[in-house]
């Protein structure tokens, strides 16, 4: 008997996927498995296994994922373990080389949950042009950015309880109801973003960029993700698309900028801006391009959209 899954498996063997998602993981097994589940066909809506693949690139740590658990997820998952070089740029470039998709999306932080329509809308946006730059708005779980929340006692156990309260595995869009904007989308959905933690480009555009710049050597990569986003927007003849109805949601995991106490974070950022200037020869300033919006608006997005309209009326920035 031919089942839907077996048919998808047969198609996948003979057809190149349109999308590849490269997910970078380091020392975050619980959060990473949450993220990978959110990228599986069991969770994602209106998308088939043969249409995309997920490459999990994990840097060696004392808490590695179990490859069998990754391969057991519903979808086309591939697991690779690489040496820990400190910066994720090397792992990203390894994943880009291994992937087969015509378009490649990089999730540089494997602790970010996806909304249920993310891959469907990445797929749709990729059909517009090979010159599209697809950006996904970023959110933090909790009522305030985790940069501030950790100074007020926010921790992993609180977050587990928060996620359990909405049954997110079956009601993924409720993630918007327990989240706030990240710093990259602090001006709302209708203005410029500082970066994208799910950045999707065609293979040709990634080739023009040369992938991520491995000159960024700080643990966690410093400003490498912001640099990549800015360089992508500077490519000529491109169209910036933001998936306004979707999002990626940061989980607490001890990240070098998101989950450190104020003084330690400030020192890290100081070093990161120094490293950027050394590499680029100038201070960092984000690109100010405004995205074109694509997506479906669910009722759970009422607050982000309402706040975004308010931001449009704020001319103080």
Instruction: Give how far the C-alpha of residue 223 lies from the chain's centroid of Cα atoms, to the nearest Å.
Output: 15
Q: Strand 103-107 vs strand 77-82: parallel, antiparallel, or unpaired? A: unpaired
What is the predicted pLDDT for the residue at 265?
A: 82
Is 259 a member of any domain?
yes
What is the predicted pLDDT for the residue at 154?
A: 83
What is the predicted pLDDT for the residue at 196?
A: 96
Q: pLDDT (tens digit, 9 = 90+) per residue, 277-311? A: 999 999 999 999 999 999 998 999 999 999 999 88
User: What is the spatial distance between Cα 267 and Cα 263, in angstroms, rounded to a whole number?
Assistant: 6
Is 7 a member of any domain?
no
Q: pLDDT (tens digit, 9 = 90+) per residue, 203-226? A: 999 999 999 999 999 999 999 999
What residues form DSSP beta bridges with 113?
249
Backbone φ, ψ for residue 24 (5° rounding): -100, 130
What is the predicted pLDDT for the residue at 155?
A: 87
Is 246 a member of any domain?
yes
User: What is the spatial distance between Cα 146 and Cα 188, in angstroms, rounded to a whole number?
Assistant: 17
Q: Which structural domain range is residue 126 located in?
A: 12-312
Is 125 a member of any domain?
yes
What is the predicted pLDDT for the residue at 253?
A: 85
Is 66 a member of any domain?
yes
Is 308 a member of any domain?
yes
> 231 vs 96, 193, 198, 226, CA distance in Å?
17, 14, 15, 9
Is 268 a member of any domain?
yes
What is the predicted pLDDT for the residue at 274?
A: 98
Angle at which helices 262-280 and 224-233 cross, to 10°: 50
Report the number of distinct structural domains present in the chain.
Answer: 1
Using 50 as the pLDDT threshold, list the residues of the chain that sit under it.
317
- The answer to whether 23 and 107 are in contact (CB under 8 A) is yes
Instruction: Give how far the C-alpha of residue 297 lies from the chain's centroid of Cα atoms, to the nearest Å.
Output: 20
The residues, ordered by sequence, that sit 6+ positions from 226 with a Cβ below 8 Å of its Cβ are: 194, 195, 284, 286
The CATH number that applies at residue 122 is 3.90.550.10
Tokens describing residue 160: 């587990």
> 130 vs 81, 95, 182, 258, CA distance in Å?
30, 20, 28, 33
> Taking all residues of the chain, what is their mean pLDDT, rounded to a whole number?
92
272 CB-side CA count, 13 A: 19
What is the predicted pLDDT for the residue at 134?
A: 98
User: What is the spatial distance between Cα 111 and Cα 29, in angstroms, rounded to a whole number?
Assistant: 9
What is the predicted pLDDT for the residue at 153?
A: 79
What residues form DSSP beta bridges with 52?
19
> How many residues are present in the chain?
317
Is 46 a member of any domain?
yes
> 283 vs 184, 268, 272, 290, CA distance in Å?
18, 16, 11, 21
């Amino acid at each position: 008997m031919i089942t839907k899954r077996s048919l998808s498996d047969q198609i996948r063997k003979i057809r190149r996927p349109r999308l590849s998602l490269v997910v970078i993981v380091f020392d975050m097994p619980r959060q990473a498995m949450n993220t990978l589940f959110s990228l599986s066909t069991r969770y994602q809506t209106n998308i088939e296994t043969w249409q995309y693949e997920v490459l999990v690139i994990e840097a060696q740590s004392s808490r590695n994922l179990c490859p069998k658990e990754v391969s057991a997820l519903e979808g086309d998952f591939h697991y690779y373990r690489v040496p820990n070089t400190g910066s994720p740029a090397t792992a990203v470039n390894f994943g880009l080389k291994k992937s087969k998709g015509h378009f490649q999306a990089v999730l540089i932080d494997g602790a970010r949950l996806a909304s249920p329509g993310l891959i469907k809308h990445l797929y749709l946006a990729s059909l517009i042009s090979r010159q599209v730059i697809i950006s996904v708005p970023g959110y933090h779980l909790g009522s305030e950015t985790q940069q501030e929340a950790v100074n007020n006692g926010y921790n992993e156990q609180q977050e587990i309880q928060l996620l359990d309260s909405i049954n997110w595995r079956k009601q993924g869009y409720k993630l918007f109801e327990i989240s706030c904007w990240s710093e990259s989308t602090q001006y709302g959905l209708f203005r410029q973003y500082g970066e994208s933690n799910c950045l999707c480009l065609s293979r040709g555009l990634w080739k023009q960029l040369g992938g991520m710049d491995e000159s960024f050597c700080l643990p966690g990569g410093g400003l490498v993700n912001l640099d990549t986003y800015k360089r992508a927007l500077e490519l000529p003849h491109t169209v910036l698309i933001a998936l306004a109805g979707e999002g990626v949601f940061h989980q607490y995991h001890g990240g070098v900028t998101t989950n450190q106490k104020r003084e330690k974070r400030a020192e890290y950022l100081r070093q990161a801006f120094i490293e950027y200037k050394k590499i680029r020869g100038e201070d960092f300033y984000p690109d100010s391009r405004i995205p074109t919006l694509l997506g479906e608006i669910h009722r759970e997005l009422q607050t982000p959209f309402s706040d975004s309209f308010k931001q449009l009326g704020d001319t103080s920035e």
